[in-house]
Amino acid sequence: MNYLRKFPAIFSRNAFVLLCWGIWLCLHGSNLILSVQLSLVPMFAAALAIFCAMIGCIFTVNHYADQLAELLDEPFGTLLLTLSVAIIEVSLMLVVIFEGDKNPSMLRDTVYATLMIMLNGMIGLSLVAGGWRHFEQTFNLRGAMSFLHLIVPLVLILLVMPNSTFSSGGPTLSPVQEVFMGGLCILVYVLFLVMQTTRHKALFVYQHVDNESLSISALPQHSSSHKRRIAIAGAALGLIVAIVPVVLLAEYLGDVINHGIEVLHAPVDLAALIIASLVLAPEGLSAFRAATANHMQKAMNICLGSALSTIALTVPCMLLVAGLQNIDLNLGVIGGSSTLLYATLLTTLITLSSERTTMLQGNVHLMIFLSYLFFIFYP
């Protein structure tokens, strides 16, 4: 009887998951190739519907991952949350890279877009919204700097150093260098997770704790082990059921993105921006809500953690696949993008060094983000 009462809530929570499964079954059952069998306007209308359904489904993935993160002991909860986002991001990039004309710059452009969105767009928006509502906000300086201590060297090694290597031509790495860097990124990230979830957990603790968060965190301890196992199984099943349609629909969305860029002669960087925006939408909204609720520590953890997980998880996966498929990936950032990248890292360092945030700092981050968007279309 209790399950019948909960059915409307369960159905509404998984509405986008059911919609994504329905869209995929229709496309797969009819063998429809959007870029071939539809004209331009219907194709983009269908792609927009798929994009919106996938965003809703990714929000559901984030919901179930958050549930598991609360139910499981660390570091498994944190690992599951970051792996869920990485799976979706990698699946989208694989389709865009391998379908049609291979795009060797997709990995670089997507990582670069992720850095611009999280370190400039979302941090800037969070600082402006939080500063407007609360004037000044504080966060744990040592925890935020711990993120940056990894982000800066990994970004410079992966996105700048390939321009200066001699083992391969152009802004690329040789297969041996790709394997080494991929393994190094994973190792460093695992060590960071161990530090974040065990010995130095206090560095990443939110400064504001309310009654709601206390009740949520205390739920697993006061619940019986049987109910806890049922809750873990339900959340894990929901997570899998929500992730699979996003991965399956990535093929159709990637096909439309590739075809649209070719037909409209749009900038290639636009595809990376679309992929990064799709994957980061739930985390960006969570950071914005945290900032407006005066939980700047949580907002910083989300923004910096998303940037770090992209570099330390997504990049190694793509390097491994590229090595197995004998595909050369352009990794080095070139032109004006390198200047924006340096400005982003320097501005983020200055912002985090202050330990207190205001609207002024947020405006600077938003200025860099708007410059990034502008130079996509006018390089």
Cα–Cα distance, 193 to 189 (Å, whole number): 6
Contact between residue 147 and residue 375 where contact means Cβ atoms under 8 Å apart: no
Per-residue 3-state assignment (H helix, E strand, C coil) for the chain: CHHHHHHHHHHHHCHHHHHHHHHHHHHHHHCCCHHHHCCHHHHHHHHHHHHHHHHHHHHHHHHHHHHHHHHCCCCHHHHHHHHHHHHHHHHHHHHHHHCCCCCCCHHHHHHHHHHHHHHHHHHHHHHHHHHHHHCCEECCHHHHHHHHHHHHHHHHHHHCHHHHCCCCCCCCCCHHHHHHHHHHHHHHHHHHHHHHHHHCHHHHCCCCCCHHHHHHHHHHHHCCHHHHHHHHHHHHHHHHHHHHHHHHHHHHHHHHHHHHHHHHCCCCHHHHHHHHHHHHHHHHHHHHHHHHCCCHHHHHHHHHHHHHHHHHHHHHHHHHHHHHCCCCCCCCCCCHHHHHHHHHHHHHHHHHHHCEECHHHHHHHHHHHHHHHHHHHCC
How far is residue 176's CA from residue 213's CA, in Å, rounded to a whole number? 46
Give the mean pLDDT of 146-175. 86
CA nearest 318: which of 76, 98, 11? 98
Handedness of CA 224, 226, 229, 231 (dihedral sign): negative
Q: What is the pLDDT of residue 76?
A: 60
The yes-or-no verdict on residue 323 having pLDDT over 80 is no
Range from 42-56, 238-252, 317-331 carrying the lowest mean pLDDT: 317-331
pLDDT at position 206, please? 53
Do 304 and 149 form a contact (C-beta atoms < 8 A)? no
**In the prediction, which pLDDT does 244 show?**
86
343, pLDDT greater than 60: yes
**Contact in structure between 115 and 160 (CB atoms under 8 Å):** no
- Secondary structure of 159-193 in HEC code, one letter for each residue: HCHHHHCCCCCCCCCCHHHHHHHHHHHHHHHHHHH
Mean of the per-residue pLDDT values of the chain: 80
**Interior angle at CA 83, CA 373 and CA 277, nearest 5:** 15
Residue written as token pair 């991929």:
182
Residue with tokens 């499964």, as numbered in its chain: 21
User: What average pLDDT does this structure show over 168-172?
Assistant: 79
| pTM (2 d.p.) | 0.82
For residue 298, the model assigns a pLDDT of: 80
* Range in 47-56, 163-172, 198-207 the model is least confident about: 198-207
- pLDDT in the model for residue 366: 95
Maximum mean pLDDT: which of 66-80, 105-119, 174-188, 192-206: 105-119
pLDDT at 240: 86
Tens-place pLDDT, residues 175-184: 788 888 888 8
Q: How far apart are CA 335 and CA 163, in angstroms?
A: 11
Which of 45, 321, 305 has the alpha carbon at shortest distance from 178?
Answer: 321
Show Cβ contacts of residue 322 under 8 Å, excluding neighbours closer than 6 positions: 107, 178, 328, 329
pLDDT at 219 > cutoff 60:
no
pLDDT computed for residue 242 by the predictor: 86
Please provide residue 329's backbone torsions phi and psi, each rounded to the nearest 5 degrees.
Answer: -105, 130
In the numeric block, which tokens belong to residue 303?
């923004």
Name the range with the highest mean pLDDT among 6-10, 141-145, 335-339: 335-339
Write the pLDDT tens digit of every residue in 221-268. Answer: 444 677 888 888 888 888 888 888 888 887 788 778 777 777 777 787
Most confident of 83-87, 110-114, 185-189, 320-324: 110-114
Tell the residue number behind the tokens 């194709």, with chain if given. Answer: 43
- At residue 371's C-alpha, the angle toward residues 367 and 374, to 5°, is 140
